[in-house]
Amino acid sequence: MIVALVGWWTTRGTAPVAAAPSTTATEPRAAAPARVAPAGAARVAPLPPPPVSPYPERGVAGLSTDDPLTAYRKANVYPPTSRPLSSDQLDLLRPNQRYEVMRAADHGDGVSYLFTADRYFVIGDEILASTLEVRRNGEPLAVRLTQAYAEVVSPADDRHRVALAFASSGGVLMNTFAPAQLGLARQSGIGLSVEFDDGVATQRAHFDVQYTPLAGIPARFTGAFGDSVEAGSLVVHVAVDVTSPGPYVIDANLFDAADQPVAWSRFKADLAAGTHDAALVFFGKVIVDANAHGPFHIGQLRGARFAAGRDPDLEQMPPFAGSFTTRAYATDAFSDAEYDSADKQRMIELLGHDHTHRGGAGRGE
Amino acid sequence: MKILFQLAVAASLAIPMTADAETFNIHVGGICSTDFGSTLGTWAGQTSVNAQIDQRDSMATATAQMTTTLDTYCTGANLCYVYVYSNGGAVMSRTLALHSTAWNIGYVASAASNEGGSEIGGTGVLASLFSCALSGHIGTSDHRNGWNHNDSHGIVTGMVAGNGWLAPYVQSAILPGHDDGAVSEASAGGYATTTGRNSICESATKYANHQAWFSCEYGSLNHLAMKLKMVCDDGGLTTGCP
C-alpha cells in the first residue's frame, strides 16, 4: 500500500495543475508531463490562468460555447451581488412595474383585452389603481362585468374577498382599491379577478399583487446614509430600522455624476432588531470599467425580509423614495482588480476537475 | 524505510480536496409537479437526483424545498449541476436570488424555462393545461417582480427553448413572439423584458449570466416535448430524446 501511495504521489502531486481550457480550441491545453521530485523538495506553484473578460452585462448574443470553467470565470469577474448596470436593464431601473399587455380573448373573434394595474407591490395605505380595456379589431368595445373582486390568495388559509366596482372613463373600466380595508396583519398575495361578457362570450382575467399592511412592515429605511471606499470598492452605508429581525435582501442602483447608470448592488444578510447599517458594495472594477466618477447617487433603494418557509415569504420594506449623493470620488479611487473569494477559488478547482459536463461547449444532440 | 515513511506521509498530505466528493445532477420538474419524473439523465460516475419540489401551491414552498435539496447535495466538497424544466427554472432562479449560501453549482441547465413568467398565467387557458393552484399565479408580473433575476450567485444558466404547437393552440395568440405553447421565448431565453422573440439568440438584454446553448430554437418542439431536451443535449440521455 505504501508503494502504491508513493506511486500515486509521484504522478499526481508533482504535476502542475492543468490550465483552463481555451474558449476557442476544442482540446484543453495538455498539462506538463509528471516528473519525480526528491522528497522534501518544494512544489512549484502553477501559474495563474490568464485573465478573462467578463460577459457583456446585456448578455451574450447568439449561442455561448464556453466550457463550464471558462463560463464560470467570465461570470465572476465581478461579484454576484455587484455588477454593471446599463440603461436597458429596465427590470432593475424600474422595479414594481407590471408586464401585462393587450392580449387576445380566449375565444378570439378579434377581441383583445388588457387587465392591469399601476404597480405590483402595495404597501400600507397605498391605493391600487386597476384598469380593464377591451377592444374588438382595435376599436374600444363596451363590455358587461359579470364578476369583479379582490381576494387574498396567499396565505391560502386567509380568503378575504371583497367586491370591486369599476367605472367607465373614456372607454376604459377603472377601479381604485385600498387593500388596507381587508384588515390584514401580514404580507399577503392578493388576486384581482374580473369576468366580462363582450357580447360574444365570457372572458375571465386575473392578476396578483403583493400587499404589505402597516403591521407587516418588517423594517424601514431611516434616510441616514454614509459612503466610503473599502478594499477598492464604493460602499454606501444604508441605515435600516429593523422591527422583525431575520435575513434581508436590499437592492439599489448607482448612477454617476452624469446621471448614467453604473452598477447595481444587493445586500443579503441577517439584520437584528434595531437600527443597523446595511452596506451596499458597488464593486470597484465595475466603476473603473465604466470609467465612472462621482459624485455618485443611488436610486431605486428597496428591500424585503426573507421569511423562508412562510407564504408569502418576502415581506416588503417601503422603498426609499429619495436618493443619496456620495462624495466626489475620482475613478482612480477604486480598484480594477477582478473579484476573488474563497468560494470562487473552490468553484474553479471543482470545475477544473470535472470534464464530464461540457455545458455550452458540448455538441448538443 | 525512513525514506518510504517520509514519502508515505507526504502522500497522505497530497490527497486532493475532492477525495470522497461526489457530483450530483439535480433534476427539477415543472409547474404542478412534485418531482422531475421517472426519466433522469445519467453521467458516468455521478449521481442523478430527482428533486422533490412541490410546485402545486406556492413559490414559497417550492423555494424552501429547493433550498433543502441544494443544502443536501451541493455543499462541502460536492459539485452539482441543476437541470430545470419549465417553472423549475423559476424556482431555481428565485432560490439563488434569495439565499447567500455558497452552493457548489457548476451551472444551471434550463429547458423551456418559465423564469420570466407566462402570459397565459392569468387566464383559464393555463388552468386547462396545468391544473393546480400555483398555475394561476406564475404570470409575468409575478415572476419578474418576485426576485432579482440578475443575482444568480455567479452561476451561469444555459437555456434551450422550443417553438412547437401545443393544444388547444390558442395560447400562441396570447404569448408574445415565438413560444412552445406554454412559455414565450422571452422567458425561456432569459430576457429581461417580455418583448416577443424569434429565437433565444436575439441580441437583447438578458438577465445576468443567462445564455443560449446548443440551438437558437427547437422549432418543432412544444413545451411538453422540451422537457428532456437539455438533459439530452448535455449528454445525460441518448435514447428517448426529442
Residue of chain B with shortest Cα separation from A363: B214
Angle of helix B59-73 versus helix B87-98 axis, rounded to 10: 70
Q: Which three cell numbers stand for residue B214?
A: 446548443
Determine the Cα–Cα distance for residues A99 and A116; give it in Å rounded to an integer.
Answer: 8
Q: Please determine whether the domains at A84-94+218-333 and A108-214 fall in the same fold group of CATH.
A: yes
Q: Is the pLDDT of residue B202 over 50?
A: yes
Determine the Cα–Cα distance for residues B199 and A62; give it in Å rounded to an integer.
Answer: 9
The per-residue pLDDT for range A160-204, each reduced to its tens digit, is: 789 999 999 988 999 999 999 999 999 999 999 999 999 999 999
**What predicted TM-score, i.e. pTM, was given to this entire model?**
0.89
Q: Which three cell numbers stand for residue A79?
A: 461579484
Residues 283 to 322 of A: which have CB under 8 A from any B CB? 306, 308-314
Quote ipTM for the complex: 0.90
Specify the CATH class of A108-214 in words. mainly beta
Q: Is the pLDDT of residue A76 over 90?
A: yes
Q: Is the pLDDT of residue A75 over 80?
A: yes
Q: Is the pLDDT of residue A15 over 70?
A: no
Q: Which three cell numbers stand for residue B28?
A: 427539477
The per-residue pLDDT for range A85-104, each reduced to its tens digit, is: 999 999 999 999 999 999 98
For residue A265, which residues of chain B lie inside 8 Å, CB to CB? none
Determine the Cα–Cα distance for residues B150 and A163; give it in Å rounded to an integer.
Answer: 38
Q: Is the pLDDT of residue A364 over 80?
A: no
Residue of chain A with shortest Cα separation from B212: A63
Judged by CB atoms closer than 8 Å, whether chains meet at B104 and A347 is answered as yes
CB within 8 Å of B77: residues ≥ 6 apart: A350, B17, B18, B19, B20, B21
Judged by CB atoms closer than 8 Å, whether chains meet at A103 and B212 is answered as no
Inform me whether the C-beta atom of residue A210 falls under 8 Å from chain B C-beta atoms.
yes
For residue B57, which residues of chain A lie inside 8 Å, CB to CB? 156, 311
Q: Is the pLDDT of residue A45 over 80?
A: no
- In 3D space, the residue among B64, B5, B55 whose CA is nearest the CA of residue B35 turns out to be B55
Domain ranges of chain A: 84-94+218-333, 108-214
Higher per-residue pLDDT: B170 or A347: A347
The per-residue pLDDT for range A300-342, each reduced to its tens digit, is: 999 999 999 999 999 999 999 999 999 999 999 999 999 999 9
Higher per-residue pLDDT: B136 or A231: A231
Domain ranges of chain B: 21-233
Taking the CA of residue B121 and the nearest CA in chain A, the distance in Å comes to 8
pLDDT for position A43: 60
pLDDT for position A365: 57
CATH number for the domain whose boundaries are B21-233:
3.40.50.1820
Inform me whether the C-beta atom of residue A98 falls under 8 Å from chain B C-beta atoms.
yes
pLDDT for position B8: 42
Q: Is the pLDDT of residue B105 over 90?
A: yes
Judged by CB atoms closer than 8 Å, whether chains meet at B151 and A80 is answered as yes
The three-state (H, E, C) secondary structure of chain A, written as one string: CHHHHHHHHHHHCCCCCCCCCCCCCCCCCCCCCCCCCCCCCCCCCCCCCCCCCCCCCCCCCCECCCCHHHHHHHHCCCCCCEEECCCCCHHHHCCCCCCCCCEECCCCCCEEEEEEECCCEEECCCCEEEEEEEEECCEECCCEEEEEEEEEEECCCCCCEEECCCEEECCEEEEEECHHHHCCCCCEEEEEEEEEECCCCEEEEEEEEEEECHHHCCEEEEEEEEEEEECCEEEEEEEEEECCCEEEEEEEEEECCCCCEEEEEEEEEEECCEEEEEEEEECHHHHHHCCCCCCCEEEEEEEEEECCCCCCCEEECCCECCCCECCCCCHHHCCCCCCCCHHHHHHHHHHHHCCCCCHHHCCCC
CATH number for the domain whose boundaries are A84-94+218-333:
2.60.40
Determine the Cα–Cα distance for residues B149 and B142; give it in Å rounded to an integer.
Answer: 12
* For chain B, percent of residues with pLDDT exceeding 70: 88
The per-residue pLDDT for range A205-220, each reduced to its tens digit, is: 999 999 999 999 999 9
Mean pLDDT confidence for A34-58: 68
For residue A356, which residues of chain B lie inside 8 Å, CB to CB? 23, 43-46, 235
The three-state (H, E, C) secondary structure of chain B, written as one string: CHHHHHHHHHHHHCCCCCCCCCEEEEEECCCCCCCCCCCCCCCCCCEEEECCCCCCCCHHHHHHHHHHHHHHHCCCCCEEEEEEECHHHHHHHHHHHHCCCCCCEEEEEEECCCCCCCHHHHCHHHHHHCCCHHHHHCCHHHHHHHCCCCCCCCCCEEEECECCCCCCCCHHHHCCCCECCCCEHHHHCCECCCCCCCCCCCCCCECCCEEECCCCCECCCCCCCCCCHHHHHCCCCCCCCC
Q: How confident is the model at residue A57 (pLDDT cuts 50, 70, 90)?
A: confident
